[in-house]
Amino acid sequence: MNAWAEEIGAELLGRHVVIHNYRQGLGRTRVRRDNAPVEIEVSDTPLTSLHPHGNQILQALVLHELGHHVCDFGEPGFRTVDKRSRREGLAAMMNILMDERLERQLRSRRPEWGAYFDRLGAYAFARNEHNVPIGAYARLIEREVSEVEGAIRRGDIPGRLLQPDAGESEMRVALRDSDMLRIPGLLPTHVAFMMCFRCGFDPQSCADPRVAEAINLVPRNLKELSHAKLLPLARELANLIGARENLTQELTLLQQKVQDNPDVLGQLGEGIDRLVECNQLPGWERKDASKIRMTPPSRAQIKREVPLHVPGARF
Ligand SMILES: [Zn+2]
């Protein structure tokens, strides 16, 4: 991976690139003005978890961090816009937009890089169905089992009814990660927005109609927009779904729900963990974006950043 990163770093930046393993589970890089090597820290969890596409996911993480150097740090106007967005409380929203913008720029440079980013997007949510006991599903949405069965049959709530497992009497329900978006009130709007904007879920399927409206606000030519033009877009998005510089409260509530409903939400919790691990949920990271890139985090910050953890989950 180091040799690959060096080669790509030389191609994109004409600079020497050094990769560090960052075990707290974030991809990070820092602004360097001198000619020193560009240092990048990425989590190696995609590899150590023996994910089938671990290597490509790691390559996507490295490319993403290099992309900040190519598409953001050196760009004229970046520093001014960066400062202003922070003053306006829009740093997290700007980060989301810059992340997507740089990936679209790199995709257009080389299609195989796009394939790595697709792997990264699919890494957080596996998109396979998981089947859960109907009683657990009913508890999550606070309805009676018989009601849930009828509602699924009518298509009022997401899921597909399955026969009980051998030796059991309780029906089961097949749920996909995208079904989670359809359950009203389950996901914080920002998380639903991220799942659609960064991981390719269908915004039309979201229980909260603002998610689709927000996705519609993002112009098709995002990758061509200057930083100065990203800022008004960040403002518009924030007006619609809130700026959410800090998602801690909402994610803590969701974490509680995941822990209370491990059968139904375990997989969702793992997906959110992976979003955090891949640095795709600005707002659950360090509040101050400059600190992400300039200084090591304080102990308190690391504590706040510990991903949602599902007991017994490994990823
Ligand atoms: Zn980024």
Distance 23 CA to ligand 1 centre (A): 17
**CA gap 105, 309 in Å, rounded:** 33
Per mean pLDDT, which range of 33-37, 182-186, 218-222, 304-308 is the poorest? Answer: 304-308
Q: pLDDT confidence of 43, banded at 50, 70, 90?
A: confident
pLDDT digits (tens, 9 = 90+) for 54-110: 899 989 999 999 999 999 988 888 999 999 999 999 998 999 999 999 999 999 999
pLDDT digits (tens, 9 = 90+) for 236-271: 999 999 887 777 788 888 889 999 999 999 988 888
Q: Is 188 exposed, middle or buried (0-12, 13-18, 19+ CB in 10 A)?
A: buried
Q: pLDDT confidence of 303, banded at 50, 70, 90?
A: very low
pLDDT digits (tens, 9 = 90+) for 107-143: 999 999 999 999 988 888 877 788 999 999 999 999 9
Q: Residues 291-312: what's their mean pLDDT?
A: 34
**CA gap 74, 228 in Å, rounded:** 14
Distance 250 CA to ligand 1 centre (A): 22
What's residue 304's pLDDT? 34
Phi, psi for 18 (deg, rounded to 5): -120, 130
Distance 103 CA to ligand 1 centre (A): 9
* Helix orientation angle between 262-277 and 248-260, rounded to the nearest 10 degrees: 140
pLDDT surpassing 90 at residue 209: yes
Q: pLDDT confidence of 29, banded at 50, 70, 90?
A: low
CA angle 174, 258, 270 (to 5 degrees): 75
Tell me which residue of 141, 135, 136, 62 sits closest to 102, measured CA to CA: 62
Q: pLDDT confidence of 310, banded at 50, 70, 90?
A: very low
**CA gap 248, 190 in Å, rounded:** 12
Distance 259 CA to ligand 1 centre (A): 29
**One-letter amino acid of 4:** W
Distance 98 CA to ligand 1 centre (A): 7
Distance 45 CA to ligand 1 centre (A): 17
Distance 133 CA to ligand 1 centre (A): 38
DSSP letter, residue 23: T
**CA gap 154, 138 in Å, rounded:** 16
- The beta strands (E) that lie in 62-177 are given as 130-133, 160-162, 172-175
pLDDT surpassing 60 at residue 294: no
Tell me which residue of 80, 86, 70 sits closest to 31, measured CA to CA: 70
- Residues 218/223/225/228 CA torsion (nearest 10 deg): 90
Distance 286 CA to ligand 1 centre (A): 13
**CA gap 21, 304 in Å, rounded:** 20
pLDDT digits (tens, 9 = 90+) for 152-201: 999 999 999 999 988 999 999 999 989 999 998 899 998 899 999 998 89
- Residues 158/163/166/167 CA torsion (nearest 10 deg): 100
